[in-house]
């Protein structure tokens, strides 16, 4: 079977690929280490390893049976077409604890006004000491947190919040899956979760149901609350977010996932068409929640584990429901 890797590669990937080649010599594993441009071999691939694939590329992959996404999000794939072709899609959650750590770090940064105070001191200004501004900050201790999304990342966030004695109220549409021990209350409405929360964490996949889920109207009702987004920008209404922050409705926001991303043609790119970056109650992060050495290696290990499962048992781990997109 031909496994073609379209994802970026590093030394750790090379070592894990060598493990696969040694263990399964009857299969072919082709990556950038073996070919200058593996995308030229899409038509030969029975298995692809990538998180980004166009409809045109999929049309060339006539032999494709399975696709392994080396991270969690699958919103950059032609899911409808993959379903029509009966292609199995598998993602992985190896980086869940690392992303959760970033989410909590961002929450502490924005509630603690860390970035704002740091930037003032860079200018030699000591807020509250050389002027009469209020420099108090918001402690997470014992607060109520709303968790929108109870996948592996969401559960890890909840576990970490328990170190601060937080009460965690979580939104889960399908309550039949049960309540994780680290979550205090499960609700079926995001309004119900947000209404009681001091800090709101967005940890949902981007699907047709979640796109724009946090609407401008909902954001305008979040008086005095903090919003933390480590999922996808499009889940939160862009203009509504800016207006709620600018007008002092939201106490603050810490964001790792955005609306505008850089490209080769536009390497310098602001993350939104609205000047969210200029507001003092925002902490910005360039979509790097999983990009630690440990996080990357955990995703690689999980991908390799899923490939092994497919070869040995005929089924990868973490199969995506292509209708639900998670």
What is the pTM assigned to this prediction?
0.93
Looking at residue 177, its pLDDT comes to 72
Q: How many CB atoms are closer than 10 A to CB 270? A: 16
Residues of the chain predicted below pLDDT 50: none
Q: Of all residues in the chain, what percent are helix, strand and coil, respectively (each to 5)? A: 35, 15, 50
Looking at residue 188, its pLDDT comes to 84
Identify the bridge partners of residue 255 per DSSP, sorted by sequence position.
229, 284
Residue 36 vs residues 10, 30, 115, 160, 264: alpha-carbon distances, Å = 15, 10, 43, 43, 20
Give the residue among 132, 140, 127, 133 at the shortest CA–CA distance from 201: 140
User: For the packed helices 11-23 and 293-313, what is the interaxial angle rounded to 10 degrees?
Assistant: 20
Looking at residue 172, its pLDDT comes to 85
Looking at residue 149, its pLDDT comes to 95
Looking at residue 175, its pLDDT comes to 65
Question: Is-contact 168 195, C-beta < 8 A?
Answer: no
48-51 long-range Cβ contacts below 8 angstroms, 24+ apart: 48/3, 48/4, 48/5, 48/6, 49/3, 49/4, 49/5, 49/6, 49/7, 49/303, 49/307, 50/5, 50/6, 50/7, 51/7, 51/76, 51/77
Looking at residue 176, its pLDDT comes to 65
User: pLDDT digits over 131-174, tens only?
Assistant: 889 999 999 999 999 999 999 999 999 999 999 999 999 998 77
Which helix (H) or strand (E) element contains residue 170? strand 167-171
Question: Domains in the chain, start-ordered, CATH in brackets?
Answer: 2-94+293-313 (3.40.50.720), 96-284 (3.40.50.720)
Euclidean distance between CA atoms 17 and 24, whole angstroms: 10
């Amino acid at each position: 079977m031909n496994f073609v890797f379209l994802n970026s590669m590093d030394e750790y990937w090379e070592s894990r690929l060598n493990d696969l080649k040694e263990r399964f010599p009857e299969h072919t594993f082709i990556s950038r280490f073996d070919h200058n441009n593996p995308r030229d071999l899409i038509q030969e691939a029975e298995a692809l390893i990538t998180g980004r694939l166009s409809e045109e590329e999929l049309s060339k992959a006539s032999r494709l049976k399975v696709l392994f996404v080396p991270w969690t999000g699958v919103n950059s794939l032609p899911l409808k077409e993959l379903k029509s072709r009966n292609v199995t899609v598998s993602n992985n959650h190896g980086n869940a604890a690392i992303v959760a750590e970033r989410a909590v770090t961002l929450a502490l940064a924005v509630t603690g006004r860390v970035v704002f105070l740091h930037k003032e001191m860079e200018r030699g200004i000591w807020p509250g000491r050389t002027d009469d501004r209020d420099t108090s900050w918001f402690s997470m201790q014992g607060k109520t947190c709303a968790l929108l999304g109870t996948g592996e990342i969401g559960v890890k966030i909840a576990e970490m919040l328990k170190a601060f004695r937080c009460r965690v109220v979580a939104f889960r549409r399908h309550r039949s899956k049960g309540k994780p021990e680290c979550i205090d209350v499960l609700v079926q409405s995001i309004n119900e979760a947000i209404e009681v929360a001091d800090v709101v964490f967005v940890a949902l996949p981007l699907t047709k149901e979640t796109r724009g889920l946090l609407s401008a109207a909902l954001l305008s009702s979040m008086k005095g609350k903090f919003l933390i987004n480590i999922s996808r920008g499009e889940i939160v209404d862009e203009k509504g977010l800016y207006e709620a922050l600018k007008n002092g409705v939201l106490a603050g926001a810490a964001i790792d996932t955005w609306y505008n991303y850089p490209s080769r043609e536009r390497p310098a790119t602001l993350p939104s068409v609205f000047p969210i970056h200029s507001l003092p109650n925002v902490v910005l992060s360039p979509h790097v929640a999983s990009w630690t050495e440990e996080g990357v290696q955990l995703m690689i290990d999980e991908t390799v584990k899923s490939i092994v499962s497919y070869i040995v048992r005929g089924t990868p781990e973490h199969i995506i429901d292509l209708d639900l997109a998670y």
